Structure 1
Amino acid sequence: MGDPALSRRGFLAVSAAAGLGMTALSGCGGDSDEGSSGTTTVEWWNISTTQPTKDVWASLAKEFEARNPKVKIKIVQLENDAYKSKMTALTASGKLPDIFHTWGGGVLRQQVDAGLVEDLSDRTKDWAEGLLPVAKEPYLIDDKVYGIPFDIGMVGFWYNKALFEKAGIDAPPTTWTAFLDAVRTLKSEGVTPLAVAGKEKWPEMYYWAYLAMRTAGADAVQQAADDKDFTGPGFVQAGQHLKELVDLQPFQKGFLGAAYSSPTGQAATVGNGKAAMELMGQWAPVVQADAGKGLGDDLGFFPFPAVEGGKGAITEVFGGGGGHALRRGAPQAAVDFLEFFASAATDRELVKKTGVLPVVPAAESALTDPNLSAVQKQLKAATGFQLYLDQAYAPAVGQEVNDSVSALIAGSKSAEQVTESITKVAKEEQ
């Protein structure tokens, strides 16, 4: 969810670190048009490395190929952080895959400003207008369409009902004070309150982002980026509130080195019943079940609590979805695949089998999971929406948010230093 921008000169160092050679992969930068066989190979980069999504997406690619015998979909699937590193390197090189995963926001804008992304406004107009407006927003830049969504959702707390009951917690907390009390109560009962992937940093960022929204307000979070100034009292208070939580030592043992979706990572810790909560997006149940056992009926969801005295409301949500963009000059087959992937039939299959929320209104009937229905209900009632900070902001700023918040949680930065560091990078980006 966001890496620093790189100059062309920095490409060699990053590509070596990311495992890339000097030559981009086959689908990048225009090598995927018709060859001697008359077949168009379209390279599709995504981050769906967990089950069942990995197999479902592969099956959909084969279905598209069966319908279009002169098209071959070459799938490249990378874990979140590896994907971001390689995409940063490819952006610096000036070559992107035919179809690639995007969260929209500032990272996509950087790629668009570099002239690397296809304007889809006209090429998708006949069918993209039927997608949910809120799902399309992250991919609209200067009123032009640069991405097509396949998911939309929000970050919130996923919790173990059985562990809450064991600790005598009758209902999910709705205020920050009550949340801290719940953490103390869980600890007193020998239950690890929270799991987090400290190694990957972006899951830690979620806490500070939500606390900034609750203290300063959702509008202030975006305004700070526009003003390149994060030193306001609401942002300092966000860090202070996060420090209150950290001081309770709420996270699992070894959290600073924990990954998100590994067998010993954040999702597995919750999915195996070894921690009571995680702050994560709408995909959490699927990853919990893939990395661990999953909680079944014991899994519940609640929105990030309100902060007493803050300017934000509990109905202001933080999150985003997933989408696909095309490299500039991508073949028509890539556009056809996006249309296939955004169809009502495909969306129903994605909702049923992979736990995404529908982006096509006709697919809402496929949503039967009560927790995902709860997420959708929260989204529909939202009075404000903020995209992931490491995607909403310029790449370097987003990465600094991740790094500084991680440093605060590790104990090496104060709340004030977090805001100062982010502001410093934001001003350097001018």
Structure 2
Amino acid sequence: MKLYATTALAIALGAGSALAQQTEVNILRVQPSDEEQAFYAEVEQAYEAENPDVDVVFEYIANEAYKSKLPTLLQSNARPDVFYSWGGETLREQSEAGFLRAIDDVLSDETRATFPEAALNAYTVDGSLVGLPLYATEVVFWVNTDLTEQAGVDHTAIETWDDFLSAVQTLKDAGVTPIIAGGQDKWPVHFYWSYLALREGGPDVVTTAMTGEGNGFENEAFVAAGRDLEELVALEPFQPGVMGTTYETASGMFADGGGAFHLMGDWDYLPMRGRATDGVGLSDDQLAIIPFPTISDPVTEGGDGATLGGINGWAVTADASDQAVDFLSFMLNQENQETIAERGIFIPIVEGADAALSNAFFQRVAQDIKGSDYHQIFLDQFLGASVGATVNDVSADLIAGATTPEEAAERVQEAWNFR
């Protein structure tokens, strides 16, 4: 009897020892769609089956909470091994603060070769790769075609900002809410000011302003962008209570048929449906996407072909293990990215995986990005945390009528000076 007990104890201790030797890989991600979560669960299971000594743990946090909690987490012992990133100056700031790990020495040449060089550059700081890209996104106008048709608006004929303003007025005259937006979170409305600045100033307007040339962010193109936005605001195009509406709520409102237009990234295709009251939302037949309009008489020519969006991906923290990098490589391999494309979850960045896209909206976005003269990363990320927050603030204030175009440009320049 004692022999059996001793043996059982040995087995239990052995099992405990094996578990203790497992390497835990913690992944932190902004809350994605249910479909994307299901994909990550499958990848986690497949990797752990091949690597029983690794325990992969995903954690999801809502968008605004993620942005506020991440800086604190990175400074603590509870920091994740890998976290979701929008790249840009924020990534550089995190690297310079010592929060990130260079992964060049553990990433295989085969894995590296599967990514476009431009996408890898978005996760490279001072020559060191500190993460990997996941997908590219484009901010577009989502259109509820039932409502535009009801009001007699031909969304396919909208090319210029004047065309868009005219469509907004026609929708209002027909009793249809023209635009749904999440003004409370601010970043959804920074898309307007950012896009208008690109259209007014050309694809180099932001990078030129960062060098201080051409009067920096007080360049006439940024002021003109504010004036263009003022024209839209004067039409009272948004749903009631726009400045008290979160992104998630606005997303669901649009999917419920609450308005004709919704300026948002292609990533909202699945989430907005999940946020609809019935969990289904608008069908593909009721949806369309159109690019952000051009400006008929811009301050500087050349901005018509620019797109705004992100090269979103993953950053690796300073204390992350080699296994964390190995899991990241596995998650982003071609087979997994083709699965992402086939399921229509997002547009993968891995070379060739976009050929598996079956979603017509994503096919259009992939074509837009490939054909773009310049793909500008979201300004609230591209310019770093403090300046990005100011961009979001001035955009929201312009929507609320609480600042002038000139003041908005001055505030961004001041933030840039004191970053």
Aligned twin of 1:163 = 147
Stretch of structure 1 that moved more, 165-174 or 107-116: 165-174
Q: Please give the per-residue CA displacement for 1:57-93, whole angstroms capped at 9, x wherever unaligned.
A: 2232222222211111121101111111111223455
Contact 2:354 2:366 in 1 (8 A): no
Distance (Å, rounded) in 2 between the aligned partners of 1:199 and 1:423: 23
Aligned twin of 2:242 = 255
Alignment of 1:22-421 (within 5 A): 37-93=20-76, 96-126=79-109, 127-170=111-154, 171-227=156-212, 229-261=216-248, 265-292=249-276, 293-310=281-298, 311=300, 312-421=302-411
Distance (Å, rounded) in 2 between the aligned partners of 1:350 and 1:131: 16
Distance (Å, rounded) in 2 between the aligned partners of 1:138 and 1:226: 19
* One-letter amino acid of the counterpart of residue 325, structure 1: A
Q: Shift in Å at residue 132 of structure 1?
A: 2.6
Distance (Å, rounded) in 2 between the aligned partners of 1:84 and 1:348: 29
Contact 2:344 2:362 in 1 (8 A): no
Distance (Å, rounded) in 2 between the aligned partners of 1:94 and 1:305: 46
Contact 1:150 1:341 in 2 (8 A): no
Figure out how many residues of one structure are paired with residues of the other and give that number.
393
Contact 2:35 2:345 in 1 (8 A): no
Aligned with 1:274: secondary structure? coil
Q: Which runs of 5+ in 1 are unaligned?
A: 1-33
Distance (Å, rounded) in 1 between the aligned partners of 2:49 and 2:18: 19
* One-letter amino acid of the counterpart of residue 172, structure 2: K
Higher Cα Rg, which structure: 2
Structure 1 residues 319 and 35: CA distance shift in structure 2, 3 A: farther
Distance (Å, rounded) in 2 between the aligned partners of 1:110 and 1:96: 16
Distance (Å, rounded) in 2 between the aligned partners of 1:332 and 1:344: 20
* One-letter amino acid of the counterpart of residue 98, structure 1: D
Q: Shift in Å at residue 424 of structure 1?
A: 1.2
Distance (Å, rounded) in 2 between the aligned partners of 1:114 and 1:35: 36
Aligned with 2:185: secondary structure? coil
* One-letter amino acid of the counterpart of residue 214, structure 1: R
Contact 1:282 1:372 in 2 (8 A): yes
Structure 1 residues 160 and 146: CA distance shift in structure 2, 3 A: same
Q: Please give the per-residue CA displacement for 1:203-222, whole angstroms capped at 9, x wherever unaligned.
A: 00000000000111120112
Distance (Å, rounded) in 2 between the aligned partners of 1:412 and 1:35: 61
Aligned twin of 2:6 = none
Distance (Å, rounded) in 2 between the aligned partners of 1:141 and 1:219: 21
Structure 1 residues 38 and 354: CA distance shift in structure 2, 3 A: farther
State the TM-score, normalized to the length of structure 2: 0.90
Distance (Å, rounded) in 2 between the aligned partners of 1:117 and 1:86: 17
Stretch of structure 1 that moved more, 396-405 or 62-71: 62-71
Contact 2:32 2:271 in 1 (8 A): no
Distance (Å, rounded) in 1 between the aligned partners of 2:75 and 2:406: 33
Structure 1 residues 298 and 129: CA distance shift in structure 2, 3 A: same
Q: Which runs of 5+ in 2 are unaligned?
A: 1-16
Aligned twin of 1:425 = 415
Distance (Å, rounded) in 1 between the aligned partners of 2:360 and 2:184: 31
Q: Shift in Å at residue 49 of structure 1?
A: 3.6
State the TM-score, normalized to the length of structure 1: 0.87
* One-letter amino acid of the counterpart of residue 111, structure 1: Q
Distance (Å, rounded) in 1 between the aligned partners of 2:207 and 2:74: 25
Q: What is the aligned-residue identity percentage?
A: 33
Structure 1 residues 420 and 95: CA distance shift in structure 2, 3 A: farther
Distance (Å, rounded) in 2 between the aligned partners of 1:242 and 1:347: 38
Distance (Å, rounded) in 2 between the aligned partners of 1:378 and 1:393: 23
Structure 1 residues 95 and 394: CA distance shift in structure 2, 3 A: farther
Aligned with 1:218: secondary structure? coil
Contact 2:344 2:358 in 1 (8 A): no
* One-letter amino acid of the counterpart of residue 372, structure 1: F
* One-letter amino acid of the counterpart of residue 373, structure 1: Q
Q: CA RMSD in A?
A: 1.8
* One-letter amino acid of the counterpart of residue 259, structure 1: T
